[in-house]
């Protein structure tokens, strides 16, 4: 999903009284539930892509967005004050290593209950301590992968998607 015009305006001009909210949805088939978290101090009721409404609970996390133009689109996450509640969930997910933990990143804006931007990612490199969980959420760039044909495959970065 591309950035909406409303979100572009918020990012570029930072208008007074209008803010954006970064949210994450974390799920796995062996988790006891799907977690909906917002980077704020209060909960919010927002709509998902299927038009259902979900309450996003306040949770402390920080993130570093990917560099522009990089081949690997990854976001670094650190979840604070997770304590022991998260350990049983991570241990359950570790039992099924063939299925990654899914992370859906969304951005909402004041005055709207629909997502202004969203992307599906997969969590990797998960490190848990007594108080924090850090992870990298990635989405591989499909344009940088060559499709093998014959014995020799050549890839020229100047012409993305063209295989010689």
**158: which 2 tokens?**
């100047």
Q: Could you tell me the pLDDT band of residue 147, with boundaries at 50, 70 and 90?
A: very low
Report the mean per-residue pLDDT for the chain.
Answer: 77
Neighbours of 73 (CB within 10 A): 15
> Across residues 63-91, what is the average pLDDT?
76
Which domains occur in the chain, in start order? 5-144 (2.30.110)
Is the model's pLDDT at 154 over the cut of 70? no
Model-level pTM?
0.73
Q: What is the Cα–Cα distance from 20 to 116, expressed in whole angstroms? A: 9
Percentage of the chain exceeding pLDDT 90: 18
């Amino acid at each position: 999903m591309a950035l909406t015009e409303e979100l572009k305006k918020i990012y570029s001009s930072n208008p007074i009284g209008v803010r954006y909210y970064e949210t994450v949805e974390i799920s796995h088939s062996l988790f006891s539930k799907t977690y909906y978290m917002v980077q704020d101090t209060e909960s919010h009721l927002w709509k998902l892509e299927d038009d259902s409404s979900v309450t996003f609970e306040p949770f402390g996390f920080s993130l570093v967005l990917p560099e522009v133009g990089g081949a690997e689109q990854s976001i670094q996450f650190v979840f604070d004050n997770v304590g022991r509640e998260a350990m049983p969930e991570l241990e359950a997910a570790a039992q099924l290593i063939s299925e990654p933990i899914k992370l859906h990143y969304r951005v909402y804006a004041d005055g709207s209950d629909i997502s202004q931007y969203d992307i599906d990612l997969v969590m990797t490199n998960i490190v848990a301590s007594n108080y924090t969980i850090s992870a990298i959420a990635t989405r591989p760039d499909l344009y940088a992968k060559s499709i093998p044909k014959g014995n020799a495959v050549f890839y020229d970065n100047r012409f993305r998607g063209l295989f010689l």
